[in-house]
Structure 1
Amino acid sequence: MFYPAYNMLTGIYVDPDTGKIGYGEYTEKYKEFLTTMNKWYSEGLIDDIYDENYNLVGSDVTDEHIYGDIAGSWKGLANNWEQRLPGILQKNANAVLVAVPWVQSTMNSKKYTPNTYYSTIDRTTVCISVDCKYPEAAATLIDYMYSEEGGLYLTWGVEGESYVTNDDGTRSWTEAADEVIDYYDGSFPRKFTYAMAHVSFPRLDQNDTSATREQQYVDACELWADAELDMIYPKAISVTQDQHNAAVGAESDIGGYIAEMQMKFITGEEPLTNFDNYLDTLKKMGIEDLIAVYQDAYDRYQAR
């Protein structure tokens, strides 16, 4: 979450200062990031987030802290108001969730998002695969779902069952729609089986899912939409596993080494005076060759 404050992202990214491809954990900026994280860790502002194998702890640990009213802040989706808050309120009746903006770069004052899925074909796009046996039928269905009638169904469900139309033309949920059921990755009101943004069909204009959401959800989405995407490596560029292996070797575990050293640097097990040794090890593991592979693919993409 805090990488963008130092004009970098984790892993492969587009350096906003040079326009070239970089690797976040193979930069001097990363040392500044680690220095801050080590300071916060020593002051007790951040907790242990790694297990004994240097992996980030799982949701079982984070959920325990969240629902135990121990965690003060965490990265989550806008659905935390439905998924998390009810459980937190059982521990702390005065609990509230407040969305915060992306961190601001200390170098150019921009707010970059670290969420790479913002650059993918996502919630506003639908594709028909070349392997689809009935493309005409698929296109007909898609046309309907993008229509006002189809969008209304996807957003509100079935009239008389999940919603009613009021005399003034507005719509309201029924009691059945507000019934909490087990669904997807948690317990949600039944209405979100129709209007959950990250699992439902794309909607446009008046059929946007925000029409059915609480204002705090809508405000959070608008706040998080205010972000720069410049550092995200385009998802349209494909680098194969063979190309990756050719650069660093099939047996290389650059990611594992980085994770291990990050934990050690942050907790103080490894002093930051050894940061140059860490960079030298990554160089020997072939990280510069790996960056070159992504740079070449990026250059070809830009020149298309």
Structure 2
Amino acid sequence: MKKHNGMRKATAFALALAMTAGLFVPGTQAEAGEEKETLTIGLAQNSNVEDYETNYLTQLIEQECNVNLEFVYLPSAVDDAKSKFAIMASSNTTLPDVVVVANNQFTDLEIADYGSKGIFIPLNEYLENKDLAVNFSQIPEEDQEKMISASTSPDGNIYCLTQNTPEDWNMTPFRFWINKAWLEKLNLETPTTTDEFYEVMKAFVEQDPNGNGTADEIGITGCTDGWGCNPAYYIMNSFVFYNGDQSNGGLALDEDGTKVTAPFASEGWKAGLEYMNKLCSEGILSPAMFTQDATQFTSVLSNETQITGSCAAGGFGYWSGAQENANFQEMELLAPLKGPEGIAYAAYNEYTPTPAYLITKDCKNPELAFKVGDFFYRNDVSLTVRYGEEGVDWTTDAEKCKEYKGLYEDLWDIPCSLVQLNTVWSSVQNKHWYNVGPRYTSLEDYRGINSDQMAGSDAVDYTSLTRQQSAEYYMEAHPEKVLPVLKYTNDEAEKLAEIQENVLTYVKQSLAEFVTGNRPLSDWDNYLSDLENMGLQEWLDVAQTAYDRIEK
């Protein structure tokens, strides 16, 4: 356990805080020589954080909240961190006052379980007290409700403060790309239906659009382990809505929004399989998408000679140096394709706030611990948690914002409201805890961040342009009512654990087999019988119960 000496505070830092407009909250700073209370913070160390003790965010919290922070470090690997905390919780080890988590270190079920055992304390009364939840109570009521709903356990208690940071980009990861240069060379229109897409892809693999005299063109490709890189999920949404197994195991709601359904056991799913089987059998869809990993996929996309006609990829990183990458610059996003029944959805997952801050049973001053957690929700602090030091790494200065285009300005006429002056992400830095801790930004806040393009510039910013197209094409392409993340009781989760694992493994395996022809589509009824025998209906029944709890 590392300790802070109250006298080590940097004078320069204190002066910088004093000069920052609106930064201080009256009555929170310590008087000269006043003893500060200590809070212990348990968190997983991140190699991109230089020093948690001298970190800018740490000093900001200590200065403004009148506390000293001590850190109890957990392993960086999620499973290892879980194991260490479990050992601490089950032994006589004194727990840190607060546990700050990220990357789903604890699932909702694990938090509820620890809460029911008294390891984490309920925060309901603190959140309801506006004198304590000073910053949380300033959040728009609609978003407060979402955050409360996401953090409420089946027993009705709230054991964590959450991070609410919705981004259009992350809600629709299964983006699909088509080679616009090949469309132009072959004098083809951008396809808008599954039938047109078939004809275009057939031309791509048969008419040598890369002009090297070799039949090396790949119509459709992807990979197994990349983010948003499975083309089957993009294509399947032309036949039935499927969220890409990103939440609730891929379950959805019926057209009325009242009944939980399994898309992978529907007639629409079968029709999607038939369509993709046709593409694969004619050499249009590469079966390698079911076997190659992200490294192999990236190699295909970066081939010296462009060989990719279309692909699924959640981000630009699959093309190295995307902004200057010639292969990437030939690609453009393709809107959802209209299927034979008029369906044109995109794999969409409604944003759900995530656990971020929990107070343990060993905290001697939970009110102070809560106040520190609430401090993170102050606007400038939430921005510091992600972007670094105000005025150095980011600014909301109106004059500076006028120099840049907003990320979605061309699409929605949303001007720039925040400029990143210095990118401290993806590098070793000492400005924040690497986006760990409670945080609130609205979707509108995110949309106001600057693009890399200067205002008035005619240069093409490919990455910003693509983000705009992604939002335009995919954000609204989903049913009116989408199944929210379901919360199960311990008994329900225990009942479903094996069923879910078996069903999802079987669905993925069968998808590959049906599409590649290793399993005939005439075996569809047996597939449904197998799902039933694995407990699919039991899963749906329990999911319905969990959904009904939310809707009450």
User: Structure 2-normalised TM-score?
Assistant: 0.41
Deviations 1:47-81 (A, max 9, x none): 12223xxxxx432222222222444321314xx2x
Q: State the identity as a percent.
A: 18
Match of 1:295 in 2: 544
Find the partner of 2:358 among 117, 129, 139: 129
1:32 aligned counterpart, secondary structure: helix
Find the partner of 1:65 among 300, 318, 325: 300
| Structure 1 pair 89–286 and aligned structure 2 pair: CA distance change class (3 A) | same
RMSD over equivalenced CA pairs, Å: 4.2
Distance apart, 1:102 and its partner CA: 4.1
Counterpart-to-counterpart distance in 2, 1:5 and 1:32: 10
Match of 1:45 in 2: 284
Match of 1:3 in 2: 236
Match of 2:193 in 1: none
1:244 aligned counterpart, secondary structure: helix
Counterpart-to-counterpart distance in 2, 1:149 and 1:211: 14
Does the 8 Å contact 2:252/2:261 carry over to 1?
A: yes
How many residue pairs are counted as aligned between the two chains? 275
1:129 aligned counterpart, secondary structure: strand
How do residues 56-205 of structure 1 correspond to structure 2 at under 5 angstroms? Answer: 57-68=292-303, 69-71=306-308, 72-77=310-315, 80=316, 83-87=317-321, 92=326, 95-104=329-338, 107=341, 109=343, 112-116=345-349, 118-121=350-353, 128-131=357-360, 133=363, 136=367, 140=371, 145-147=376-378, 149-150=380-381, 153=384, 157-158=388-389, 161-162=392-393, 168-170=399-401, 177=422, 182-183=426-427, 201-204=439-442
Counterpart-to-counterpart distance in 2, 1:115 and 1:90: 29
| Structure 1 pair 237–204 and aligned structure 2 pair: CA distance change class (3 A) | closer
Find the partner of 1:258 among 498, 507, 512: 507
1:101 aligned counterpart, secondary structure: coil
Match of 2:270 in 1: 31
Counterpart-to-counterpart distance in 2, 1:44 and 1:199: 48
Distance apart, 1:280 and its partner CA: 2.1
Counterpart-to-counterpart distance in 2, 1:6 and 1:88: 31
Amino acid at match of 2:290: Y
Match of 1:234 in 2: 484
Distance apart, 1:266 and its partner CA: 0.6
| Structure 1 pair 157–266 and aligned structure 2 pair: CA distance change class (3 A) | same
Match of 1:274 in 2: 523
Counterpart-to-counterpart distance in 1, 2:467 and 2:509: 38
Structure with a larger share of its residues in helix: 1
Deviations 1:159-184 (A, max 9, x none): 6744689994446766xx369x8549
Does the 8 Å contact 1:14/1:22 carry over to 2?
A: yes
| Structure 1 pair 296–104 and aligned structure 2 pair: CA distance change class (3 A) | farther
Where structure 2 has 5 or more consecutive residues not aligned to the other structure, the ranges are: 1-233, 404-418, 453-463
Counterpart-to-counterpart distance in 2, 1:199 and 1:105: 43
Higher Cα radius of gyration = 2
Where structure 1 has 5 or more consecutive residues not aligned to the other structure, the ranges are: 52-56, 185-189
